[in-house]
Amino acid sequence: MMGIVLTGKENYPEWSRMIKHTLIFNELWKGVCVRDGDNDPVQPTSDKELVVWENKNSKAYALIATSVNEEVSRHISSYSTAFEALQKLKELYESHSALEVVQLMIKLFTLELQNNDPLALASEVKSIMHDIKSTKVELDIPLIALLKALYPTYSNYLESLQANGNLKDITFTLL
């Protein structure tokens, strides 16, 4: 086993590296998770090859599923191949998304002055703005305005939309 459990974005890079090496060591990487040249794998065409592939896929999927916590496992439980599970986790935790920007904006909205220290607050604002810029995701100003208007009154609803992945589909156009 790997010795690391994927809990989210914060430990995804280390987990990703470890799971890849574990799958390579167990001869489950090539053909199941990637094809030669790191392209998407293709399922075999002959019955004999298919049986071998299905066996390897089951083992690879089991290694992946046992190396994630319960919250993360909900994201991959509907997938049947190791490749699909890895792609979903990569989509959720490796790339920057509009959802990440929304989460950072909500964090920004909830900042409060602590210990009467405006410099600490300014530093935290600067840090969050740096994180937003580093995502290289274009900000949707009308969406940000809506989030600010709804927060904190509808914070539970916004957090529910975030958790379900529905918030990233909300877009607005300026009139």
Give the model confidence (pLDDT) of 62-81 as tens digits: 999 999 999 899 999 999 99
Bridge partner residues of 34 (DSSP): 30
The beta strands (E) that lie in 49-146 are given as: none
Residues 115-120: contacts with CB under 8 Å, at least 24 apart: none
Confidence of residue 105 (pLDDT cuts 50, 70, 90): confident
How far is the C-alpha of 160 from the C-alpha of 70, rounded, in Å?
A: 18
How far is the C-alpha of 73 from the C-alpha of 67, rounded, in Å?
A: 9
Work out the percent of the chain whose per-residue pLDDT is above 90: 28
At residue 41, the 3 state secondary structure works out as coil
- Cα angle 156, 160, 163; round to 5: 135
Structure tokens at 1: 């086993």
pLDDT at 41 over 70: yes
pLDDT at 107 over 90: no
| Cis previous bond, 152, omega within 30 | yes
